[in-house]
Chain A
Amino acid sequence: MTPLSTDAAALRLAMVGVGKRFGATAALDGVDFALRVGEVHALVGENGAGKSTLMKVLSGALALDAGSIQLDGEPYAPRSPAEARAAGVAMIYQELSLAPHLSVAENVLLGAQPTRRGIVSWAALRARARALLNVVGRPSLDLDAPVATLAAADRQLVEIARALARDARVIVFDEPTSSLGNEDVARLFALIRDLARRGVSIVYISHALEEVFAIAERFTVLRDGSSVASGRTSETDASRLVAAMVGRSVGELYPRSPARPGEVVATVRALAGERLPREATLEIRRGEVLGLAGLVGAGRSEFLRALFGLERVRSGELRILALDGPRTPTERWAQGVGFVSEDRKSEGLALGLSVADNLVLAGLDRCSSHGVIAPARVERDARAWIERLGIRCLSPRQPVGRLSGGNQQKVALARLLHADADVLLLDEPTRGVDVGSKAEIYRLIDELARSGERPRAVVVVSSYLPELFGTCDRIAVMTRGRLGPARDVGELDEHAVMLEATGAGR
């Protein structure tokens, strides 16, 4: 790996020795980051390595304590996100920040409407929005449609167009592909390359290293608040990058004990939901991990949610353990079926509540007698699971929203274990989770199904094929609402799954 670059040729952004402390802990400690004009630069690191803090400094949400930042040779110290925007530094966040009720055109030019003496010129606004949508490669988007009605990919384009409206010189993409399907990802990458050619400097943050190698020319690795490596992506590889990120080599990322398929715990025949899935037939067995692959929107989540009673079932047979037919989530928990939502922030966890409260939420009867909760038992159970899963938090009373994504996800998983679930339905269990936590989650999944003292049934929905191949014993592919047969991973490869998922393989 090459040493930190000090090449000053055409530097757009130069961060030198940037530091930021919160009380006694240093969130950033000597970060050097050099972003050139018109390059795509990947910023990688585990959650908690300081990426988001660094980006908050860059976007004006936090002020730095040490070091300096220069933007195109000028000192750069924004006091608010609005100032950063005005200086030409824009963020495209994971949770898109648009005004859902306003039209596409207005969102593109929000805060920058063409006006004369305070009066908006709608003709100019529409023309300018149209021009910007052309630049992002979506000229046919309905200017008057409320943004709430758009697909995720289009919303993202609106947000990019908005950054361009302010003549952004630096655009930061934070996990931009997390809610996109493969085609949209390809389109986004083409756009990012196009923007870079136009001289915009791109900071690309992602946990998916394939993406980093596909899109970025250079990279910088953050670890424990410091920049530890930087260089050209063409001169390194994934394992060296991961080693730099974790500071140690991640042994086996996907541990795999031999499968020990046992009794069938769930039988599904020709299940159809209100809209999705259209037809799903499946058997879920104890002692194995079953993967559901498919494109985003194919109906995998809806299927899992239908099993758990979160989506209406229109027709078909469904039997889980001893219970026939669709049931409510309350009944599912009671019979030992647990579910982890793909949307941790709005559905999976109550972010304002403590780690302990979240952890015992589904198994409150274990910590109570006759409906009265015993706080000591809550605390004891929470501590036990925090230790067992290695959840890094200050105390069980810390609000779960303060934890990193990986630790939040471990809380969500611990909830299932605390409720003593036998059938675990996991929807995108490693979304927004850092590499280290991912490895721990994979190990946990392996243990729950295959190596623990009690074999459980685990179903994993994931859009990340290496993960499915790494963790699952059998994989079934959902294609436009229809679930294909589950097959052993040995009989499949990623190419075949992709073909089937896109409908080309049938």
Chain B
Amino acid sequence: MTNARGASTRFLASFGPALGLAATWALFAAFAGSDFLAWSNQRLMLEQTSVVGIAAVGATLIIVAGGIDLSVGATIALGTVVGAIFLRALWPPWAAALGGIGTGLAVGAVVGALVIGEGARIVSLALGVVIGAAVAARANLGWGVGAGAASTLVLGSLARRFAPRIPLSPFIVTLGAWGGLRGLAKGLGDNQPVYPPSSHALEGLMQPAASGPGAFVAPSVWILCLVALAMAWVMRYTRFGRNVFAIGSNEETARLCGVRVERTKFWLYVIAIGCAGIASVLQLAYLSMGDPTTAEGYELRVIAACVIGGASLAGGQGSVLGTLIGALIMTVVDNGCTKLGLDNWVQQIATGAIIVAAVALDRWRAREQT
């Protein structure tokens, strides 16, 4: 009885955002004309989407699990600063890239640990690092590493034994990280941008090659596609991914059914904010410097991309494809408005209206379904 109808609404659920993208694109194509329609502009839009897109693909995981990440922009800024410092130290580009990604993973681990209430272990790890560094400064590196590891282990087991587990809401944790990480980035950069030596291999990430197969689009777009494909696969085909949906839909039920809720949450933050780390490498390539103030407001663009793409902030719903389309819609609006010569304030109003309209449409559709 409900099968045919259910199938058609499910069809709409996956194609609604795509129709929205097509409509937005067609609208600007009609008014902005050839300037907007040129292939070089399509390519530019894809490239413009890559940074927010990759971070948003990661954030989809968090939002589906019923969480939220307000610290994406700050994580990206911190990643650019760390990567730029590595480059300034004349480390190879891949080391700088790993620095950016590692920053994301580390932030994800801290956020994840705080969300599941294992903050005490993070504190013991931090104390261990401080003790290790202090010992290393007075004796040598070997002693420092040993002392750091030993004190982390001791403090960690003490924390496990005595410290209470205090789970915190991701909103609060990432609100703290939002300010804290920018502060950390400014501190690392001595309150100003970090300039690496002029030309380095990372710059090629955000530009298509002059000729050959790489001339089609910049590598950043391919990286976005890879990350999105991988994430879509993880969310659909791994036990971890399905458990993320279950947690977002009904956490207590997931726990009852034997899902390791805490462990899953920890790793989903590591993976998701790790994506923000990847985005920070692209941002570094784009800016050619580490900037503690960059990516301001990206956290909201990332959340908006997920929501436009059909994710529910209450958890349990969302898709990587939808998020990608959501990110593209915002790029098309920005780019199209620019091409039409509209001011920035018009873009902002248009983007805001689209977010609200997308969610309203989604709710309306959900109501039709029942």
Contact = CB atoms under 8 A, between A and B. Distances in A.
Given A99-B246, A100-B250, A111-B246, A145 B256 contact: no
Nearest to B366: A148
B252 A97 contact: yes
Given A100-B316, A149-B2, A82 B256 contact: yes
A110 B257 contact: yes
Given A97-B252, A120-B237, A102 B246 contact: yes
B370 interface: yes
| Interface hub of B3, B239, B243, B257 (most chain A Cβ within 10 A) | B257
B6 A102 contact: no
A148 B316 CA distance: 11
Given A110-B246, A118-B240, A120-B242, A82 B255 contact: yes
Interface string A91-117: 000000111111000100011110100
A229 B252 CA distance: 34
Interface in A121-154: 122, 142, 144-145, 148-149
B239 A118 contact: yes
B114 to A, nearest CB: 23
A99 B6 contact: no
A379 B77 CA distance: 55
Contacts of B312: 101
B10 A99 contact: no
A86 B258 contact: yes
Contact of A97 (B10, B243, B250): B250
| Interface hub of B236, B241, B248, B316 (most chain A Cβ within 10 A) | B316
Contacts of A118: 238-240
Nearest to A99: B249
Contact of B257 (A82, A100, A120, A144): A82
A388 B36 CA distance: 75
Given A100-B249, A118-B240, A111 B257 contact: yes
A125 to B, nearest CB: 9
Interface of B is mostly: helix
Interface of A is mostly: loop
A438 interface: no
A108 B10 CA distance: 20
Interface residues of B, number: 32
A111 B316 contact: no
A145 B2 contact: yes
Interface string B244-281: 01101110111111110000000000000000000000
Contact of A115 (B239, B248, B250): B239
B256 A99 contact: no
A119 B250 contact: no
B369 interface: yes
B236 to A, nearest CB: 8
A102 B257 CA distance: 14
Contacts of B236: 120
A138 to B, nearest CB: 13
A113 to B, nearest CB: 6
Interface string A416-449: 0000000000000000000000000000000000
Contacts of A81: 255-256
Interface residues of A, number: 27
B134 to A, nearest CB: 41
A200 B139 CA distance: 68
B87 to A, nearest CB: 36
Contacts of B254: 99, 110-111
Given A100-B316, A142-B3, A149-B370, A113 B239 contact: yes
A99 B239 contact: no
Nearest to B318: A101
A122 B94 CA distance: 38
A112 B243 CA distance: 10
B2 A119 contact: no
A162 interface: yes
B239 A120 contact: yes
Interface string A445-473: 00000000000000000000000000000
B253 A99 contact: yes
B317 interface: yes
B2 A142 contact: yes
A85 interface: yes
| Interface hub of B10, B246, B250, B256 (most chain A Cβ within 10 A) | B256
Contact of B249 (A82, A86, A101, A113): A101
Given A81-B255, A149-B6, A102 B316 contact: yes
B232 to A, nearest CB: 13
Contacts of A86: 258
Q: Which 6 A-B pairs have the closest CB atoms?
A: A111-B257, A101-B316, A99-B249, A111-B258, A101-B249, A110-B257
Given A86-B258, A111-B254, A149-B370, 15 more contacts: A98-B253, A99-B245, A99-B249, A99-B250, A100-B250, A101-B312, A110-B257, A115-B238, A115-B239, A118-B238, A118-B239, A142-B6, A145-B6, A148-B370, A149-B369
18 contacts: A80-B255, A81-B256, A82-B258, A85-B257, A98-B253, A99-B245, A99-B249, A99-B316, A100-B316, A102-B242, A102-B246, A110-B253, A110-B254, A110-B257, A112-B258, A118-B239, A120-B236, A148-B370
Interface of B: 2-3, 6-7, 10, 236-243, 245-246, 248-250, 252-259, 312, 315-317, 369-370
